[in-house]
Amino acid sequence: MYAPALGAVLAAVVVTKVWERAAVAPLAGADGGSGGSGSGSSSSSATGGGAAAPPSAAAAAAAARFRANYLTVYLLAMGADWLQGPYVYALYASYGFDRRAIARLYVIGFAASAVGGTALSSAADVYGRKRAVLLYCAIYAASCGTKHVGRFWVLAIGRVLGGVAYSLLFAAPEAWMVSAYTARGYPPGGLGALFGAAAWGGGLVAIAAGGVGAAAVAAGGAVAPFDAAAAVLG
């Protein structure tokens, strides 16, 4: 009975803490990296040998918006994955599959992740990282849809889709972020803080997803967490 309240509280904590970290993350952690350039030397001499000037207010605001946007989307993508993980086995068991059949389904997913996911992750560098991220959302949502059908071959297709999407999740978003961050000329030192905030927020999202998933199961049965994940992916 406490699962819905726990999920709501944890979700609020995740949003609050991640946004706080995004707001205070250092913007110019690598200012000293330009000290060896000609412009850096002249700037230092003009200011009496001090450190390079910090970025302008406009640049700082743009970098902060970029961080907040990336963290919001990335953590939603991670949340969709965490919502599903704890309930896959239980869903298969609810359809009457024995351990052997469930094991085969898991192997199918792992094989798809190793083969198809790796190939698509590499293709993202050629055809576009943004497209790869959008493809992740579409494929994983389709995988969630297959969970409503209790037939082995349909669930196997869902495992293939889920395996491919899982590989994309751990390659495409970060590659897209680094590429966009670099192309816009934000301070390189900010990347470390952004990766740290993403990893830290991912842990909180995992905890929050546990509460939300439990509430979904209590309200709608074994397939409800997958519907919630599809909604988050949307």
Query: For the domain that residue 134 is a member of, what is the CATH number?
Result: 1.20.1250
pLDDT at 55: 60
Residue 60 falls within a domain, yes or no? no
| Lowest-pLDDT range of 67-71, 95-99, 166-170 | 166-170
Domain encompassing residue 122: 68-233
Number of structural domains in the chain? 1
Residue 2 falls within a domain, yes or no? no
Region of 70 please: left (phi>0), alpha (psi -120 to 50) or beta. alpha
pLDDT in tens, 47-56: 444 444 556 7
Residue 11 falls within a domain, yes or no? no
| Lowest-pLDDT range of 59-68, 99-108, 123-132, 154-163 | 123-132
pLDDT at 5: 44
List, in order, residues 6 or more apart from 224 with CB less than 8 Å away.
Answer: 216, 217
pLDDT in tens, 76-96: 999 999 999 899 999 999 999
Residue 24 falls within a domain, yes or no? no
Q: For residue 34, report the phi and psi dihedrals to the nearest 5 degrees.
A: -100, 5
Residue 188 falls within a domain, yes or no? yes
Residue 29 falls within a domain, yes or no? no
Cβ–Cβ under 8 Å, residues 155 and 92: yes
Whole-angstrom distance, CA of residue 181 vs CA of residue 66: 8
Q: Can you give the pTM of this predicted structure? A: 0.72
Residue 4 falls within a domain, yes or no? no
